[in-house]
Amino acid sequence: MVAAGNNRSRAELRKRRRRHFDYKAKIQKDKDSPAVACAISDISDSGARLNLKDDVELPDRFFLLLTANGAARRHCRLIWRDGLTLGVKFPDNR
């Protein structure tokens, strides 16, 4: 019998290794809407896991503001969402 929820023996499916991260950031839906507070819980070169403080509706694409003034930012594409936790991909800039 296999224990439900035990993923330790499961192969890692991500192409890039994620690093645990504890960083406060903001999501900018568009230039006219206020930024939404979030925390980055893990990150890689290709994506991140974000945790929202409040349940808000988000578009499929948005900017992740990494500094208070928004000078450092990453374009994101929403890949999955489970309640207040989201998985995003950083699209290639090609």
- CA dist., res. 48 & res. 13, Å (int): 14
Instruction: Give the tens place of pLDDT for each residue, 22-60.
Output: 899 999 999 899 999 999 999 999 999 999 999 999 999
- Render pLDDT for 55-84 as a digit per residue (tens, 0 to 9): 999 999 999 999 999 899 999 999 999 999
pTM confidence score: 0.77
What pLDDT does residue 93 have?
55
Strands 36-43 and 85-89: unpaired
Question: In the chain, what are the domains?
Answer: 19-89 (2.40.10.220)
